[in-house]
Amino acid sequence: MTTDGQSTNESAVQGALSKLKAVGGRVTSARIAVLSVLEASSGHLSADAIATAVQVLQPAVHRATVYRTLESLVEVGVVSHTHLGHGAAVYHLIAEEHIHSQCQRCGRIVDLDAGLLAAAGRVLLSEHGFVLDPSHSALLGTCAACAATATVTAT
Amino acid sequence: MTTDGQSTNESAVQGALSKLKAVGGRVTSARIAVLSVLEASSGHLSADAIATAVQVLQPAVHRATVYRTLESLVEVGVVSHTHLGHGAAVYHLIAEEHIHSQCQRCGRIVDLDAGLLAAAGRVLLSEHGFVLDPSHSALLGTCAACAATATVTAT
DNA sequence: TTCTATGCAAACGATTTGCAGGGAG
DNA sequence: CTCCCTGCAAATCGTTTGCATAGAA
């Protein structure tokens, strides 16, 4: 869980900016805004949602800048993105690695323990030499609620 | 190989058409072409690639029709599609269920045994009531070859 | 005939890019 | 001052949709 609470509140943003500078990047209001939004949210924001939230902090920031900023942050390694089944990818600050699952029916996203795919990852590595990135793609399926309310009378 | 096989070779196509008819669907040249392309390929074709291949068999078939046909076939249950990380979704005739993994670097797709996620699926079901659809999303990561060439100028 | 499937083109949502100016270092 | 970052708008990519019509049953 490691829900830091307040102690390390700004450190995530600060740390991200530091890494950015380390690579020759620059600290701009747009980037600070994006990082702030990411930190403020508990997670799972699409680039578009981030852009909207950023508009509130920095009305001048353009959507394209948000995309570019996210790209840079991913490159630096402080942000991670996950591809959902149908819609847009979701971004979040890298904290503890976790896996996402999404319900195909209601679209809800659920965080899962990273260990869930540890075994599979191990098999992939030993049998295929494939290095699995567990958090990069969501596991798709049907959540409990939707599974119950539907498919009662299939076909 | 590409010589439109007779005998049992067409059973997959025939079976699909039967199911289609069972639901009130119609057998058209466009659908036959799409199914033929799917059957002829060993798998992993994007809708766009299928459209291109179909043009050869039926030049008149429009891209949109391919999309609609694929949609119908997925609905009927004879075709399955998998969302890859970045690009388009890939389609294939349903044979044995398998999982896809894709290398983020070279884009190569590798089929994996369906059992790979069996354990994870079981956990998801018992702990979250989540019914996993193992073949609907690809596992992303880095393949052996790329992993080797990757660790060059890292950090 | 009846109703589904198709062709065509335009709409669409998500993301990217070329270019010229602005600001960080 | 120099070079990275940004705003803007247009371009791309993948996919969907409204309509009128061709075609399967």
Residue nearest to nucleotide C23 (CA to C1'): A28
Contact status, residue A124 vs residue B116, Cβ threshold 8 Å: yes
- Please indicate whether, in this complex, the C-beta atoms of A130 and B143 are within 8 angstroms of each other: yes
A107 Cα to chain B: minimum distance (Å): 13
Q: What is the pTM of this model?
A: 0.80
Per-residue pLDDT of chain A (155 residues), as tens digits, is 444 434 444 578 999 999 999 999 999 999 999 999 999 987 789 999 999 999 999 999 999 999 999 999 999 999 999 998 787 899 999 887 889 999 988 888 888 998 999 999 999 999 999 999 999 989 999 999 888 886 554 43
Same domain, A67 and A3: yes
Contact status, residue A80 vs residue A92, Cβ threshold 8 Å: yes
Of the candidates A55, A131, A140, A40, the residue with the CA atom closest to the CA atom of residue A91? A40
Contact status, residue A69 vs residue A26, Cβ threshold 8 Å: no
Contact status, residue A131 vs residue B148, Cβ threshold 8 Å: no
Same domain, A66 and A118: no
| Domain around A108 | 97-155
Q: What is the pLDDT of residues B100-138, one digit of tens each?
A: 999 988 888 989 998 999 999 999 999 999 999 999 989
Of the candidates A111, A106, A122, A105, the residue with the CA atom closest to the CA atom of residue A44? A111
Same domain, B62 and B72: yes
**In what order do the strands lie in the sheet containing B139-142?**
A131-132, B139-142, B98-103, B109-113
Same domain, B8 and B79: yes
Same domain, A56 and A104: no
Instruction: Say which CATH number the domain at B81 has.
Output: 1.10.10.10
**Least CB-CB distance to A141: which of B123, B132, B139?**
B132
Same domain, B80 and B67: yes
On chain A, the residues whose CB falls within 8 A of the CB of B132 are 101, 139-141
Same domain, B3 and B75: yes
Q: What is the pLDDT of residues B52-88, one digit of tens each?
A: 999 999 999 999 999 999 999 999 999 999 998 788 8
Q: Residue A120: closest CA among chain B residues belongs to which residue?
A: B116
Last residue of a domain, one of B49, B74, B95: B95
% of chain B surpassing 90 pLDDT: 67
Q: Give the three-class secondary structure for B100.
A: strand
Give the integer Cα–Cα distance in Å for A11 and A43: 17
Handedness of CA A66, A90, B137, B69 (dihedral sign): negative
Mean pLDDT of chain B: 87
Q: Straight-line distance from CA B64 to C1' C8, in Å?
A: 9
Give the number of C-alpha atoms closer than 13 A to the C-alpha of residue A39, restricted to the C-beta side. 21
Say whether residue B128 is in contact with chain A using an 8 A CB cutoff. yes
Strand D contact with B87 (CB < 7 A): yes
% of chain B surpassing 70 pLDDT: 90
Q: Identify the DSSP state of B101.
A: E
